[in-house]
């Protein structure tokens, strides 16, 4: 009996150590899986936003012009590499020289810095014979619906007679625009939407199975509480 007591004590300590080791391994595995799920949820899920709205702006250069138009945004909301792509169609009018311009452009903002860069194409007319086309780059800073742009127009020659001056159009300009959103929509990325549809289908299947069991009487009596 004296020799048996140390052996039993050793077995008890070994069994407890094995249980503790298994529990630690299980906890580590659960934590690992939880961490993986957390990474998938936080960093790989992407929310996309699309909105359209109205633009009101004032352009300053050699000449002043009022800007009115519309703009659409495509935004990716994510913890990693968010971005916004914007497309605009704008009418600008110079009251002093009676020149109207139609401008279409695109711009992009990457990351969390509100710096934007884009390109524009334009057409200008004085409602008579004068017509000029233009294109050029733009850079800007966008914050809280305000978009400050600095751009340049590379212009074609006017089609009027050479002895007459060309229509007055800004080449180097700065514009301050305010964006008023009108319509917003949100969608998840394809992988997240697929998982959502699968979970919804599983919930519907479980609901139908419970309803089938209830109608068929499979769960009645004392066993129904389990």
- The domain spans of the chain are 1-40, 48-187
User: Quick one: which of 104, 100, 164, 168 has its CA closest to 135?
Assistant: 104
d(CA 101, CA 40) in angstroms, rounded, equals 48
On whether the CB atoms of residues 48 and 76 are closer than 8 A, the answer is yes
Give per-residue pLDDT as tens, 6-25. Answer: 554 554 554 444 444 344 43
Which tens digit of pLDDT belongs to each residue from 120-145? 999 999 888 888 999 999 999 999 88
Q: What is the pTM of this model?
A: 0.60
What is the second-level CATH architecture of the domain 48-187? Beta Barrel (2.40)
Q: What is the pLDDT of residues 23-39, one digit of tens each?
A: 443 444 434 444 444 44
**Confidence band for 5, pLDDT divided at 50, 70 and 90:** low
């Amino acid at each position: 009996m004296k020799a048996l007591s140390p052996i039993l004590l050793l077995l008890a300590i070994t069994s407890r150590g094995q249980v503790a080791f298994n529990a630690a391994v299980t906890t580590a595995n659960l934590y690992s899986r939880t961490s993986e799920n957390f990474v998938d949820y936080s960093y790989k899920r992407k929310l996309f936003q699309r909105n359209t709205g109205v633009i009101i702006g004032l352009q300053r250069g050699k000449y002043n012009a009022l800007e009115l138009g519309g703009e659409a945004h495509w935004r990716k909301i994510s913890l990693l590499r968010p971005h916004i792509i914007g497309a605009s169609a704008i009418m600008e009018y110079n009251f002093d020289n009676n020149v109207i311009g139609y401008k279409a452009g695109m711009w992009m903002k990457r990351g969390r810095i509100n710096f934007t860069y884009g390109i524009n194409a334009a057409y200008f007319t004085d409602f008579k014979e004068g017509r000029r086309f233009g294109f050029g780059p733009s850079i800007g800073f966008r914050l809280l619906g305000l978009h400050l742009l600095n751009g340049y127009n590379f212009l074609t020659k006017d089609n009027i007679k050479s002895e007459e001056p060309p229509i007055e159009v800004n080449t180097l300009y700065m514009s301050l625009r305010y964006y008023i959103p009108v319509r917003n929509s949100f969608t998840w990325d394809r992988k997240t939407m697929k998982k959502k549809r699968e979970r919804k289908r599983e919930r519907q299947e479980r609901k139908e199975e419970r309803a089938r069991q209830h109608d068929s009487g499979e769960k009645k009596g004392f066993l129904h509480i389990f």
